[in-house]
């Protein structure tokens, strides 16, 4: 016990007085430090041939584990000068080494000394350093730390987490966007004049004007064009439906023009006399008794009037159901508004737009703002989450969002995003990085190897890092 007190005090003194040079007269030929099965194993080969030990001295070499204020002294090697050895034979309780240590005479140090010890690895040792200290002990319990040598700076070696690659999206020279919808304007039978107060028209017309207003009122947006396409349902003669679809579409165009005065040719139109595609979608999703037969008839090459009459006369109950539940929805007007958004370059302005109108930002503008945030921060994560909501099918948006999710330890979300970024070579690398973050380094290898073949330099670095045994440090020297 006395030995540990003396050496601990001596070690503290060495730190305070700044001893850090390599141990004199001792050559460390090689060593291995390994964590295995919960035990820390240290093997040392020391050449002490140059060690000069006076007869009145004892040289003690002690490996120690250091973590912050905690220090654990391991088994020591003590080389006893003749007089001190005789003294301690008579005063064993004062010996600077203990039972289990290696005790040598100067005549026994001509060969390489093999040192080996094993201890239970404790939680506090994670990230520790390992040093070898030389302490000289003399008469009157005089103890002096001569020098220390750091064997391992940090153990186990720092966990490896690969660099995540965020891609800068392509710049949009012109930010062109489109917003669209459908309105179901009601007309009296065979009429083509709009009555805003007829049935539910006030609500349906508000869909169109509300969409236009939402874009027009934004000072950063310029509306470039409006497109309206009208449809009629298949009942009654095709020629009459063509007349109604065209006339009602023109009436809606004139109604919008009267409110906004866009100018000649600004609103473009088209019409489709009968919405057979809409009818097909409805029937395909239905549970009608003769669903398959009706679908076959819809897809046939019969003329529209003959096709409609065939369905009406052959499956009367099904037809009545369609007439009541499907046909009204086939009489609709689809509209789209094409517009341009000005560009933003100032991160401060981009951040303001992020919180007020994120749909106005390009992916590149999201990326510019991301450069001002700390990677892994809540702001950083939310930014890429917003970007991928605005551009849900863009591979770059999904890749960047996946990387952010990895940093946020949301691995399931990261996998979902990476599935939409598979066309990018960086996605294979991020998939490998994800496995490493999930502590599955072996599962990461095929993804990293694929990424390396695709030219991702970071994949080569990751493969090298994974080849390192982070729980075993070996050093060999030819000193």
- What is the average per-residue pLDDT within 160-184? 94
Q: Which helix (H) or strand (E) holds 44?
A: strand 39-47
Residue 380 in contact with residue 390, Cβ under 8 Å?
Answer: no
Which of 258, 272, 187 shows the shortest CA–CA distance to 229? Answer: 272
pLDDT tens digits, 249-302: 999 999 999 999 898 889 999 999 999 999 999 999 999 999 999 999 999 999
pLDDT tens digits, 35-48: 999 999 999 999 99
Contacts of 156 (CB under 8 A, 6+ apart): 35, 126, 127, 470, 471
Q: How far apart are CA 177 and CA 359, in angstroms?
A: 10
Confidence of residue 326 (pLDDT cuts 50, 70, 90): very high
Residues 188, 47 share a domain:
no
Residue 272 CA: distances (Å) to CA of 189, 241, 252, 334: 18, 9, 15, 11
Q: Is 110 within a domain? A: yes
* CATH assignment of the domain containing 347: 1.25.40.10
Q: How far apart are CA 386 and CA 366, in angstroms?
A: 9
Burial class (CB within 10 angstroms; exposed 0-12, middle 13-18, buried 19+) of 351: middle
Residues 151, 216 share a domain:
no
Residue 224 in contact with residue 212, Cβ under 8 Å?
Answer: no
- Check whether 66 has a pLDDT greater than 70: yes
User: Which residue pairs from 36-39 have beta carbons closer than 8 angstroms and sit at least 24 positions apart in sequence?
Assistant: 36/471, 36/472, 38/120, 38/121, 39/118, 39/119, 39/120, 39/121
Q: Is 22 within a domain? A: yes
Residues 242, 360 share a domain:
no
Beta bridge partners of 60: 78, 135
* CATH assignment of the domain containing 9: 2.60.40
Burial class (CB within 10 angstroms; exposed 0-12, middle 13-18, buried 19+) of 243: middle
Q: What is the mean pLDDT of the chain?
A: 91
pLDDT tens digits, 290-320: 999 999 999 999 999 999 999 999 999 999 9
Confidence of residue 72 (pLDDT cuts 50, 70, 90): very high
Contacts of 243 (CB under 8 A, 6+ apart): 192
Q: Is 410 within a domain? A: yes
Secondary-structure percent of the chain, ordered helix, strand, coil, rounded to 5? 45, 25, 35
Residues 415, 294 share a domain:
no
Beta bridge partners of 103: 78
* CATH assignment of the domain containing 224: 3.30.1330.60
Confidence of residue 208 (pLDDT cuts 50, 70, 90): very high
Burial class (CB within 10 angstroms; exposed 0-12, middle 13-18, buried 19+) of 100: exposed
Which comes out higher in pLDDT, residue 411 or 160?
411
Q: Is 172 within a domain? A: no
pLDDT recorded at residue 22: 63
**Domain closes at, from 305, 320, 339:** 339
Q: How far apart are CA 155 and CA 22, in angstroms?
A: 20
Burial 18-49 (b: 16+ CB within 10 A, else e): ebeeebeebbbbebebbbeeeebbbebbbbbe
Helix (H, G, I), strand (E, B) or coil at 143: strand
Residues 229, 281 share a domain:
yes
Tokens read off for 303? 């003329």
**Domain closes at, from 313, 339, 365:** 339
pLDDT recorded at residue 233: 92
Residues 97, 124 share a domain:
yes
Residues 387, 332 share a domain:
no
Confidence of residue 478 (pLDDT cuts 50, 70, 90): low
Our measurement of the distance from residue 201's CA atom to the centroid of its chain's CA atoms, rounded to an integer in Å, reads: 48
Confidence of residue 184 (pLDDT cuts 50, 70, 90): very high
pLDDT recorded at residue 110: 77
Q: How far apart are CA 337 and CA 227, in angstroms?
A: 6
pLDDT recorded at residue 24: 74
Q: Is 160 within a domain? A: no
Residue 75 in contact with residue 91, Cβ under 8 Å?
Answer: no
- Check whether 61 has a pLDDT greater than 60: yes
Neighbours of 323 (CB within 10 A): 14
Which of 301, 302, 323 shows the shortest CA–CA distance to 236? Answer: 323
Residue range(s) defining the domain that contains residue 390: 343-471
Residues 347, 330 share a domain:
no
Which comes out higher in pLDDT, residue 9 or 467?
467
Residues 462, 398 share a domain:
yes
Residue 390 in contact with residue 359, Cβ under 8 Å?
Answer: yes
Q: How far apart are CA 219 and CA 262, in angstroms?
A: 17
Residue 350 in contact with residue 361, Cβ under 8 Å?
Answer: yes
- Check whether 14 has a pLDDT greater than 80: no
Residues 378, 310 share a domain:
no
- What is the average per-residue pLDDT within 322-344? 95
Helix (H, G, I), strand (E, B) or coil at 380: helix
**Domain closes at, from 294, 314, 339:** 339
Residue 355 in contact with residue 201, Cβ under 8 Å?
Answer: no
- Triad 117, 123, 124: Cα angle to 5°: 85
- Check whether 2 has a pLDDT greater than 90: no
Confidence of residue 141 (pLDDT cuts 50, 70, 90): low
Q: Is 377 within a domain? A: yes
pLDDT recorded at residue 477: 67
Distance in angstroms between the alpha carbons of the first and the last residue of the chain? 35
Q: How far apart are CA 93 and CA 204, in angstroms?
A: 100
Q: Is 125 within a domain? A: yes
Q: Is 249 within a domain? A: yes
Count of structural domains within the chain: 3
Residues 253, 328 share a domain:
yes
Tokens read off for 135? 């302490």
- What is the average per-residue pLDDT within 199-212? 94
- What is the average per-residue pLDDT within 62-83? 94
- What is the average per-residue pLDDT within 10-34? 66
Contacts of 429 (CB under 8 A, 6+ apart): 162, 165, 447, 448, 451, 456, 458, 459, 462
Eight-state DSSP code of residue 331: S
- Check whether 417 has a pLDDT greater than 70: yes
Residues 120, 20 share a domain:
yes
pLDDT tens digits, 427-463: 999 999 999 999 899 999 999 999 999 999 999 999 9
């Amino acid at each position: 016990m006395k030995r540990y007190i003396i050496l601990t005090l001596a070690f503290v003194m060495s730190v305070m007085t700044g001893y850090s040079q390599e141990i004199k007269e001792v050559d460390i030929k090689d060593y291995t430090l390994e964590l295995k099965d919960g035990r820390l194993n240290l093997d040392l080969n020391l050449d002490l041939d140059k060690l000069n030990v006076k007869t009145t001295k004892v040289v003690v070499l002690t490996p120690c584990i250091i973590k912050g204020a905690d220090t654990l002294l391991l088994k020591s090697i003590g080389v006893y000068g003749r007089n001190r050895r005789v003294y301690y034979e008579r005063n064993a309780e004062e010996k600077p080494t203990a039972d289990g240590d290696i005790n040598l005479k100067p005549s026994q140090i001509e060969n390489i000394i093999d040192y080996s010890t094993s201890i239970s690895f404790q939680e506090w040792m994670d990230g520790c350093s390992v040093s070898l200290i030389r302490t000289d002990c003399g008469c009157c319990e005089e103890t002096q730390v001569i020098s220390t040598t750091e064997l391992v700076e940090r153990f186990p070696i720092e966990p490896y987490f690969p660099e995540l690659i965020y891609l800068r999206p392509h710049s949009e020279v012109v930010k062109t966007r489109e917003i669209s919808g459908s309105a179901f304007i009601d007309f009296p039978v065979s009429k083509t004049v709009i009555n805003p107060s007829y049935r539910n028209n006030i609500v349906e017309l508000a869909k169109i004007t509300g969409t236009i207003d939402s874009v027009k009122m934004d000072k950063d947006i310029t509306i470039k064009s409006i497109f309206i396409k009208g449809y009629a349902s298949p009942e009654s003669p095709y020629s009459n439906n063509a007349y109604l679809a065209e006339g009602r579409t023109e009436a809606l165009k004139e109604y919008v023009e009267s409110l906004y005065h866009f100018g000649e040719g600004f609103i473009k139109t088209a019409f489709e006399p009968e919405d057979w595609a809409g009818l097909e979608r409805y029937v395909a999703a239905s549970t009608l008794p003769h669903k398959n037969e009706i679908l076959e008839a819809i897809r046939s090459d019969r003329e529209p009037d003959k096709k409609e009459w065939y369905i009406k006369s052959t499956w009367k109950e099904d037809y009545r159901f369609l007439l009541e539940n499907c046909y009204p929805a086939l009489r609709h007007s689809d509209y789209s508004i094409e517009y341009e958004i000005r560009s933003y370059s100032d991160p401060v302005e981009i951040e303001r737009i992020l919180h007020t109108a994120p749909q106005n930002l390009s992916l590149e503008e999201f990326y510019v703002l991301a450069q001002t945030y700390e990677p892994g921060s809540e702001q950083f994560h939310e930014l890429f989450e917003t970007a991928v909501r605005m551009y849900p099918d863009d591979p770059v948006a999904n890749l960047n969002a996946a990387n952010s999710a990895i940093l946020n330890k949301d691995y399931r979300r990261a996998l979902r995003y990476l599935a939409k970024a598979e066309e990018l070579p960086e996605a294979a690398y991020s998939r490998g990085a994800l496995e490493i973050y999930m502590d599955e380094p072996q599962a990461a290898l095929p993804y990293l190897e694929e990424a390396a073949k695709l030219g991702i330099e970071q994949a080569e670095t990751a493969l090298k890092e994974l080849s390192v045994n982070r729980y075993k440090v070996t050093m060999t020297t030819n000193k």
